[in-house]
């Protein structure tokens, strides 16, 4: 049951929709053999457990903001606007360039957004993009400002323990972005819901490096700077909390799951997504995935997958699209939108 969060149903005049999408995946491909050897597993084991065949890695001198700028620029191009038109830039990330300043401010400067746009980060781990998307839509809906850029970007390769087979095999680096702006009648965001479950926060965490456990030589030696995950606990959370919440959310928005033309979930693990789609009764043909090629890219996974679906010509004007993010916190974000297919989308290769 959802005990916190917001839901919105029905249409309103002058709605907010996605006008353009973009993504950025580093050019360096990392195979299952590459990540499996340090973790003591092989390609077959990884594919059987996760469905992942490869993932991407950022260059040593690249930061999260570098990927975010490329993805953001591609989304702006697809939407047909410039960075100077933006009133709001939100970057969803749990791997910021640094604790301060906000990575979004670095991105705004990199895009040439100027001094007028508000820029801030959102950290809801793998749900972050949906938290940022719903937040941006609410801000735009209550203001005269027309455009926002929402980016999900993560470089998880910097916080993984290569010997931990539960995590090292799953994650890739990347960024995905959308431009929000005025939608045509009967197009755009229909409903959104955000929820957090703090009692389960220890299922996914990076214990060290914050104000409770500051980074020291001792914490580094103990590996407290690494991402950790209770895989079984996360799977239970998804099955018992996320799946029924998605079904309730769609119903409360006035739709049936059969109405969903495209389900774009967080790309946590291929086997998990197969179970989620089956439990919801959404056929594989309507579930958009990128995990085989890119792995789990954290907060980037939903916008990256959405961009690839649009760029591949899968989405049509008027299609009902369900976006679902879930992850550390524990947290969950959902959005339902009627697709506005007026702009092409571009994904930018990153050398």
Provide the domain limits for residue 46. Answer: 1-349
pTM of the model: 0.92
Residue 238 DSSP label: I
The string of pLDDT tens digits covering residues 280-321 is 999 999 999 999 999 999 999 999 999 999 999 999 999 999
Total domains in the fold of the chain? 1
The beta-strand segments (E) located in 145-201 are: 147-155, 173-182, 188-196
The candidate with the shortest Cα–Cα distance to 171, out of 285, 307, 30, is 30
Q: Which residues contact 265 (CB under 8 A, 6 or more apart)?
A: 273, 276, 277, 287, 302, 323, 324, 325
The candidate with the shortest Cα–Cα distance to 73, out of 25, 120, 24, 33, is 24
Residue 129 pLDDT class (50, 70, 90 cuts): very high
| pLDDT value at 351 more than 70 | no
Question: Rounded to whole angstroms, what are the CA distances from 224 to 98, 217, 219, 290?
Answer: 17, 10, 5, 30
Q: Which residues are catalytic?
A: 126, 266, 296
Q: Which residue has the tokens 């040593």?
A: 60
Structure tokens at 65: 């903001």
Sign for the CA dihedral angle at 82, 88, 89, 92 comes to negative
Structure tokens at 279: 């439990």
The string of pLDDT tens digits covering residues 89-121 is 999 999 999 999 999 999 999 999 978 899 999
């Amino acid at each position: 049951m959802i005990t916190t969060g917001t839901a919105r149903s029905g249409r309103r005049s002058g709605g907010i929709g996605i006008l353009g999408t973009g993504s950025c995946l580093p050019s360096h491909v990392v195979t299952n053999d590459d990540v499996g050897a340090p973790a003591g597993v092989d390609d077959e084991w990884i594919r059987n457990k996760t469905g992942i065949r490869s993932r991407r890695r950022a260059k040593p001198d690249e930061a999260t903001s570098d990927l975010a700028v490329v993805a953001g620029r591609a989304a702006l191009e697809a939407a047909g606007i410039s960075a100077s038109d933006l009133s709001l830039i939100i970057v969803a990330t749990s791997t910021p360039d640094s604790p301060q300043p906000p990575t979004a401010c670095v991105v705004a400067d990199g895009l040439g957004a100027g001094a007028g746009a508000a820029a801030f980060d959102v950290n809801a781990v793998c749900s972050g993009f949906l938290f940022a998307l719903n937040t941006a839509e609410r801000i735009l809906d209550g203001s005269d400002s027309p455009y926002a850029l929402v980016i999900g970007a993560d470089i998880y390769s910097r916080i993984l323990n290569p010997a931990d087979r539960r995590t090292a095999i799953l994650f890739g680096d990347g960024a995905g972005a959308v431009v929000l702006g005025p939608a045509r009648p009967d197009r755009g965001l229909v409903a959104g819901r955000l929820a957090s479950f703090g009692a389960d926060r220890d299922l996914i965490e990076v214990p060290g490096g914050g104000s409770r456990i500051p980074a020291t030589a001792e914490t580094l030696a103990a590996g407290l700077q690494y991402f950790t995950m209770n895989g079984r606990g996360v799977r239970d959370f998804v099955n018992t909390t996320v799946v029924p919440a998605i079904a309730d959310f769609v119903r409360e928005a006035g739709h049936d799951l059969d109405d969903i033309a495209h389900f774009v979930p967080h790309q946590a693990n291929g086997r998990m997504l197969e179970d989620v789609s089956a439990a919801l009764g959404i056929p594989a043909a309507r579930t958009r995935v990128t995990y085989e090629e890119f792995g789990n890219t954290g907060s980037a996974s939903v916008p990256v997958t959405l961009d690839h679906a649009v760029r591949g010509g899968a989405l049509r004007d008027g299609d009902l699209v369900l976006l679902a993010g879930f992850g550390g916190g524990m947290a969950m974000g959902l959005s339902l939108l009627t697709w506005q297919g007026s702009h092409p989308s571009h994904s930018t290769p990153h050398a």
